[in-house]
Amino acid sequence: MSQDSDLKVTKVDFLKSQNSVQHHTDAYNTPNLVVRRGQPFLLQLTLSRELRAADKLSLHFSIGERPMEPTGTLMSLNPRSSRNVSGWQIAIVKSNGTECTLSVTSAPNAAVGIYGLMVKTGPNVYKPEKNAVYLLFNPWCEGDIVFLSNEAERKEYVLNDTGYIYVGSSFDIHGKPWNFGQFEESILDACMYLLDKSKLKMSSRRDPVVVSRAMSALVNANDDNGVVLGNWSGKYENGTSPMAWIGSVAILQQYYKTKKPVSFGQCWVFSGVLTTVMRCLGIPARSVSNFNSAHDTDENLRVDVYLNEKGEKLKWMSSDSVWNFHVWNDVWMKRRDLPSGFDGWQAIDATPQEQSQGIFQCGPCPLKAVKDGDVYLPYDSKFVYAEVNADRVYWRVTDENGRKKYTKLGVESQSIGAKISTKAVGQNRREDITWQYKFPEGSSEERASMRRAVSYLQPSEMTPRARFAAVPMANQSDDGKDTTQNEVVPKSGVQVEITNEKPLCPGNPIEVAIIVKSTMAGSWTVDITSSCQLQSYTGKVHANLGYIKQTVKVEGQSEVRVPLKIMPEAYMKELATVDDEEHVHVTAIAEIQGTDEKLTKEVSLSFEYPPIQVQMPETAKVNKDFTCAFIFKNKLNVPLDNCKLMVEGLGIFKMATFDEGDIQPGRIIKSEVICTPTRVGEKKIVARLTSNQVKDISVEKAIMVTH
């Protein structure tokens, strides 16, 4: 046989620009081809001669350490045989002289990861340069279980690389700009590294349920040297304060480079990084904030709050807690592992709170299971259910003859799980998605869901959260659970409210008012106890700032205002001693004389800060420099010590940090960055200022980049 008849491949063109536009992967910053499963992509082969009918030609795609056909980790695709290998397909689209274009379609349930490609022509094997092909989940493909039919939602939940994470308190919600940055340099490789690190079997990498659960464990560092190390101590000297991060990019890049956990994170950081990882792998994801989030350690759907005589929360009494907000994630997928009806959004959570199957991981848990009270379904639905549905029970603890006496002050059944929030699709505003997690408070559906959930909960003993216990407990109405569910409406018609008279600015007095209202005829004497505490968003008390005790009289339909004023010297020192964003927490107890009625009310207020101004053009051109200036004036009447300004613009400039030192009252600082846009479209620039006194002033501004 003559040499010239021996067919060889001399080149493979991955047609990257054409394929990546079709696959919505053109934004990934990588030299390799990135495609989504279940969707055709083209390869162009250059051959040593024209392809003949008798020639043997096959493409070999392999993944993992020991690729084999029976395990679906090696695909030998022959364009001339109709044999379909594990759902993959190949066809010759056109053959013209020495050029041959092939169309390859991976299976819509193929394992996600990095595939190597080799081309065989008879005895010859050709391994192209950059032969790694990245295969991702595909929300555009109906056969993929992460399929999402709405294009605007796919743009938001898969392709949007910036967004907001909602923080603060239910009385005062603000959006923290966050750069997810799933397309930035080495982020895709970091996610592929996490997939390998998860030690999932290749067959498990087909399933977004298993992959998202594994990633909820790997984004925290608790069990497996994962990405982010949690720290709620208020002391962050040997790392970055959780308040200071602008987004996930610097975190994932550092992790991929060092392979060591990055210091430090709290819930919004874990959630932001998990959104990045999920979107990067092609699973639709969103960061979700739950306000007044219960952390119910013993699964009794009750969080006990203990107060002393001054109405101050006792720090040492309870392992249960209520966080002002807690941020987790929802991911979109079908649940073929469950009975029908539980497809759609699933909650997952990377913040290490409680172990599940022996590891700090949580979810995916169907939102529908939470809404309907089907808390026997995997994974961790009891825990998520309690986060949004527990009751808050208030107790007063007094000392009587050396023994502690507990007086029940009341039950709040409607405050936990409020204003559940995520960024709206295609808009820079908050969307309230509470209705996706629960029926309206007090509605008959909500009560039925609660009864159903309670019937599945094990009485007061911890059980593994991922157990699939499909047998409801015997009816437990005798344990008083149902009786505490209903909030008591006072017969006297007396109500209590707490308002702040003026915005809270560091360096100014804190002025709040306790308002006692009477809504019915009659005259009542009310004993008011109110306290003011400085606490973190996790409910941890840092300082008692002051309290009042007063007796007031209300008659008919009237109201009385009781002022509570805290001078700046009582709290400014405390603000500078912790590195956390502090909230002012006010609790009021009203006891109505001559009755056994007791009312409790609490609010969490946030400080307000002067803004950062951003000066830059409205539009810019690719690869043409422009200047962006950040200007900040300290309008507070206290100096801000040890100020740092962090700025980042995805596709415009890398993250930069400016040390601004101490900024005296009235002083203006200005920092400039030279920007070079590398991608077209609307891009956002984010800046964040931190100091000893003020932990987080952030701003973002958009610019349109054109060719």
| The most confident of 178-182, 299-303, 354-358, 461-465, by mean pLDDT | 178-182
Whether residue 323 contacts residue 295, with contact meaning beta carbons closer than 8 Å, is answered with yes
Amino acid 355: pLDDT: 81
Least confident of 310-319, 372-381, 591-600: 310-319
Q: What does the H/E/C string look like for 102-132?
A: EEEECCCCCCCEEEEEEEEECCEEECCCCCE
Band of residue 70 on the pLDDT scale cut at 50, 70, 90: confident
Q: What is the 8-class DSSP label of residue 59?
A: E
Whether residue 515 contacts residue 586, with contact meaning beta carbons closer than 8 Å, is answered with no
Number of continuous H segments (helices) and E segments (strands) in the chain: 12, 38
Amino acid 339: pLDDT: 95
Structure tokens at 615: 């000066």
More reliable by pLDDT, 441 or 687? 687
Q: If you average pLDDT over residues 152-173, what whole number do you get?
A: 96
- Residues 600, 398: Cα–Cα separation, whole Å: 17
- Residues 75, 68: Cα–Cα separation, whole Å: 8
- Residues 390, 372: Cα–Cα separation, whole Å: 15
- Residues 369, 347: Cα–Cα separation, whole Å: 10
- Residues 703, 210: Cα–Cα separation, whole Å: 38
Q: What is the 8-class DSSP label of residue 219?
A: T
| Partners of 44 in the β-ladder | 13, 101
Whether residue 601 contacts residue 497, with contact meaning beta carbons closer than 8 Å, is answered with yes
**In 3D, which of 614, 648, 646 has the Cα closest to residue 628?**
614
Amino acid 490: pLDDT: 63
Binding residue per annotation — 391? Answer: yes
Structure tokens at 120: 């065989």
CB atoms within 10 A of CB 560: 17
Structure tokens at 35: 């495609």
The one-letter amino acid at 620: A
Binding residue per annotation — 441? Answer: yes
Q: If you average pLDDT over residues 525-548, what whole number do you get?
A: 93
Q: If you average pLDDT over residues 95-117, what whole number do you get?
A: 96
Least confident of 127-141, 278-292, 567-581: 567-581
Beta strand 391-400 pairing with 302-307:
parallel
**In 3D, which of 24, 30, 219 has the Cα closest to residue 114?**
30
Does residue 43 sit in helix, strand or coil? strand
Binding residue per annotation — 156? Answer: no
- Give the catalytic positions in this structure: 267, 326, 349
Length, in residues, of the chain: 707
Beta strand 321-333 pairing with 344-348:
antiparallel
Amino acid 491: pLDDT: 75
Amino acid 414: pLDDT: 84
Structure tokens at 518: 């009477």
What are the tens digits of pLDDT across the range 410-440? 888 888 999 999 999 999 999 999 999 999 9
Q: Whole-prediction pTM value?
A: 0.92
Average pLDDT, the chain: 90
Tokens 């700025």 map to which residue?
Answer: 647
Amino acid 460: pLDDT: 43
Amino acid 102: pLDDT: 97
Whether residue 206 contacts residue 111, with contact meaning beta carbons closer than 8 Å, is answered with yes
What are the tens digits of pLDDT across the range 165-223? 999 999 889 999 999 999 999 999 999 999 999 999 999 999 999 999 999 999 999 88
| pLDDT exceeds 80 at position 482 | no
- Residues 76, 120: Cα–Cα separation, whole Å: 9
